[in-house]
Structure 1
């Protein structure tokens, strides 16, 4: 289909200044805002496009906005230490701002506020994804491969997008925003964006070229091109993929089976097979590298530094620091003896909530963005495939310990079944590399301790139970 071009204008001068006081209040309340706990001191407009004229009954702006905040403290230094490396640029967020005279009651949850001055004075602004008309506009732009200002809407010409699909915003809390269109497609809009190739588009495209059925193939995607006056890399803003109708995410399914006292090992085994199939396809599609002692030393140094920072931040970790650190020194010792590993592209943030089981029982893996807290370069680095395995083993543990009463035996059986399923599909059992598996599981548990201590203290006993196991003399 030929590319459509939609005429647009840049946002009026003073737009961001007029929105500033409202965004300072609204943005930190969003689940996907990464800078919680630090005040927003100002905004910079990275890019802006008027998708619908603000003078009409409904206006619509697409904005890339950099939120400025005080630097976070250095986790490796004493309390109150400033961030290392001096001031860093604020995070850039993708916003879709609707403009209207009065917000209808059905859109009350979308309210950002009432503008008191500037070009939108007297009007109401809101999160536009709650509204059908803006959501429909995004799908039509993807369908017609539109160019709107600096926004470029691309799609796979082999996949059809029917017009008129009814949108609905998924309101479950997540680190991005998703709109489902007629139970046919799901559009994931990235909220915190960075320039460069995003693995959430890169890896599913590579898997689609390999014919891997375990990951929904990208149908279309949205990109913001750099300003010609300030050339750089484009920003990937969103990905449209087929919607798996009737699917249940692995976390919900696991909790449901736990509540009923049902066995989950068959599902865990099939999920292990699905993970191995994705890893095998990624290793075919993208380059792999060999990790020798020099590269392993750098990886171990990063793990050791993260452990030290977590021990300083969470006193409950201190009794286990030496035992946990032995997981990393054991890996370094093995590499020093000449052991090497193959590294490849991996999911990077695998857990039960990133897996979907269809009504037919087939598992799919989704959300290849990686850990949002890591830089894009880190998220795109080849890693041993066992990193994903270790992360999933931790997810089984989380599910089991969220039950009342906790079911560590359930987790143990699921972990074993998952590794067995992985071995059946990959030809290699991750349990045959216990040193690497323990190092990655320890690194994940340390991250979990720090996260729970900061954000969900009531969950802290879950990773601490794993810490005791991983650091103790009876560790597996």
Structure 2
């Protein structure tokens, strides 16, 4: 890792502009795809840090709360910290109309137009220039890998796919992921690919540059990696196969092999733990089930059967040792370029605490996530193709067994428990973000609630 260079003078803006921004952000934040509190009003906005990254562009970390009062020590009420890059201009070009946040009516920015700077090509280019060279900007630290060198002048484009972060592609050569929801500590999407690069694991693109903050605590803010320009994600490939009636089992088997190779590299790169602590894991799964059933009434009739699935976890074969895993593996997190599969997005589920996402866990959790994804794909077309999903699931597990040395299909109780836990997560997610998709995980819930389903 290349160390940061001597800091250059950068003006850190005080909290005064929040008098101009708070009202605008309170309206704008809940409309963003990556904002986690859509179902709750934003009642509190607190500035964590604000730095002028370059003229006309402010970098902010903002804590958004949803009710409650600060603790006696002054700690903000429960909520989330978000990373924002805001442009500030007297007038906004019509071509940036979609980026508009609003016009400040009071405070030090009164009369100025505020917009999402990541949708502005000029701001995006300046951000890449900042990433190309190690250095500092207030509390921000920019760092680079020894190679490759990132050229200047790459044309940016904002990816418009639904996701929990924001990604910019530069010249179809590099992709920058900016983490919107920020937690203290190193983000797995930097930590894991960097460690796998040292293991010479070619299944995961290595980090090229990244930046972080040191105030109020150290946290990863963004990672630049090579962009696989001719690659297609597994979700798109699966849907194409379904639409054309093509078989997908060969690809699924190769994907299982690639997943096992990544798991083996992760086990070599990070310390492994003991076999999964089944009692504690089952208890955590049950707690998540109870919380989801409280939020989604449709889940409640199936709770007894789902609890039984977690109960089998305690009595079943403990399975492989716990290790670092992907944490949110599905067809949208893998890319196929030529004949090779690549695994991306090691952030894990952003809704879960960072410490949990970085903890050693059973690799069966990743396998269950991919199996659920095949089921999701099969249900995108009518009539539903359960046999297509079953063949893909079998092929994936067979491919995994080829490389891993153990067969997930022989860990039936363990696999059922993790697949159930994943389906419960999906129910809660769909109910909050995509209600029309709720029948997809609910169909799995009905199956898994039956003993041995």
- Verify same fold: TM over 0.5: yes
Structure 2: distance between partners of 1:259 and 1:214 = 28
Deviations 1:414-458 (A, max 9, x none): 101111111112122111111111110011112222332333332
Please, which moves more after superposition, 95-104 or 8-17?
8-17
CA distances 1:10-43 after superposition (whole Å, capped 9, x unpaired): 2155211111111111111010011112111232
Q: 2:64 aligns with which of 64, 67, 73?
A: 67
Q: 1:234 aligns with which of 203, 218, 231?
A: 218
Give the conservation status (yes or no) of the 8 Å contact 1:12–1:119. Answer: no
Deviations 1:312-351 (A, max 9, x none): 443433443332222211121236xxx5640000000011
**Which of 429, 432, 457 is matched with 2:435 structurally?**
457
Structure 2 residue 117 is matched with structure 1 residue 128:
yes
Query: Residue 35 of structure 2 aligns with which residue?
Result: 33
For the residue of structure 1 that corresponds to 2:34, the secondary structure is coil
Provide the residue aligned with 2:282 in structure 1: 300
Q: CA deviation at 1:296?
A: 1.8
Query: Contact (CA 8 Å) 1:290, 1:340: kept in 2 or not?
Result: no
The residue number in structure 2 matching 1:346 is 325
**1:312 & 1:373 partners in 2: Cα distance?**
17
1:157-306 counterparts in 2 under 5 A?
A: 157-227=146-216, 233-291=217-275, 295-306=277-288
The whole-number CA distance in structure 2 between the counterparts of 1:313 and 1:378 is: 22
* Deviation for aligned residue 1:123: 1.3
Taking the aligned partners of 1:235 and 1:13, their CA distance within structure 2 comes to 20
CA contact (8 A) 2:63 2:82 kept: yes
- With 115-124 and 192-201 compared, the bigger mean Cα shift is at 115-124
Q: CA deviation at 1:281?
A: 0.1
Superposition deviation, residue 5 in structure 1: 4.0
Once the two structures are superposed, residues 56-115 of structure 1 have per-residue CA deviations (whole angstroms, 9 ceiling, x without a partner) of xxx1111111112126xxxxxxxxxxxxxx984321111101111211111111001111
Partner of 1:443: 421
Structure 1's 9 and 318: CA in aligned 2 closer, same or farther, altered over 3 A?
Answer: closer
| Conserved 8 A contact 1:156-1:218 | yes
String of CA shifts for 1:112-152, please: whole Å, max 9, x gaps: 11111222221111100111222122211221112111111
SS of the residue 1:289 aligns to? coil
Q: Distance in 1 between matches of 2:319 and 2:57?
A: 54
Gaps of at least 5 residues in structure 1 are: 54-58, 72-85, 228-232
Q: 1:66 to 1:313 in 2, by over 3 A?
A: closer
1:10-25, aligned counterparts within 5 Å?
10-25=12-27
Question: Unaligned regions of 5+ residues in structure 2, if any?
Answer: 69-74
Corresponding residue for residue 72 of structure 2:
none
Q: Report the Cα distance in structure 1 between the residues aligned to 2:427 and 2:230, rounded to whole angstroms.
A: 34
Stretches (4+) displaced over 6 A? none
Find the aligned partners of 1:450 and 1:51 in 2 and give their Cα distance.
37
Candidates 354, 365, 380, aligned match of 1:376: 354
Identify which range, 184-193 or 421-430, moves more after superposition: 421-430
Compared CA separation, residues 465 and 90, structure 1 to 2 (3 A): closer
The worse-fitting range, judged by mean Cα deviation, of 465-474 and 438-447 is 465-474
Name the residue aligned to 2:306.
Answer: 324
Tell me if the contact between 2:39 and 2:432 (Cα under 8 Å) persists in the aligned partners: no
Q: TM-score, normalised by structure 1?
A: 0.90
Contact 1:20 1:42 in 2 (8 A): no
